[in-house]
Amino acid sequence: MKPQILFRNCLAPFLAMSMYAASACADVVVVVSAKSAITHLTAEQVTKLFLGKTATFPNGGNAVPIDQAEGSSIRNEFYSRIANKTPSQISAYWTKIIFTGDGYPPKQLEGNLDVRNTVANNPNAIGYIDRSVVDSSVRVILAP
């Protein structure tokens, strides 16, 4: 991790006393089921899936993104690293999409284990979790 990015993602929220509590600097990785054919995606491709700009993987398969709970530090870190967006920006983005009738944000699950288990059981799912809970049921396809 570049020092500048470390500062932005991990230290800045403490220094700024941001209203969005960041409890720890998690090491976030993007995962799919071990049963999925996907082996690697770029940050741009993952961003498009999580922001609903596409609903399919580059190989044409349906994609079901699984988000983490709003306000969680891993979610804030994921969007900061992947799309350089703050929680308010993500919230404003989905407000625009919802109230233009263009869609709804991905389903949210509570916590790394829930996301890992759901992703593991669904070959179409894509999620992000802390590296420490990765096991053989899921495949890491990007470490943003």
Is residue 100 within the footprint of other proteins (CB under 8 A)? yes
| Residue type (1 letter), 130 | D
- Residue 138 near residue 100 (C-beta atoms within 8 A): no
Is residue 37 within the footprint of other proteins (CB under 8 A)? no
Residue 111 CB, shortest distance to other proteins, in Å, is: 15
Instruction: Write the Ramachandran bin of 52: left for phi over 0, alpha for psi from -120 to 50, otherwise beta.
Output: left
State how beta strands 138-142 and 125-130 pair.
unpaired
- Residue 75 near residue 68 (C-beta atoms within 8 A): yes
According to CB under 8 A, which one of 98, 110, 131, 135 is a site residue for other proteins?
98
Token duo for residue 42: 């770029």
Q: What angle do CA 41, 44, 47 make, to 5 degrees?
A: 95
Stretch that binds other proteins, among 15-23, 24-32, 135-143 (CB under 8 A): 15-23
According to CB under 8 A, which one of 92, 110, 135, 143 is a site residue for other proteins?
92
- Residue 33 near residue 136 (C-beta atoms within 8 A): no
Residue closer to other proteins by CB (options 24, 54) is 54
Half-sphere exposure of 142 (CA within 13 A, CB side): 17
According to CB under 8 A, which one of 5, 37, 69, 91 is a site residue for other proteins?
91
According to CB under 8 A, which one of 9, 36, 45, 72 is a site residue for other proteins?
45
Q: Which residues bind other proteins (CB under 8 A)?
A: 16, 18-19, 42, 44-45, 48, 53-56, 62, 64, 66, 70-71, 83-86, 88-89, 91-93, 95-96, 98-102, 104, 107, 118, 122-125
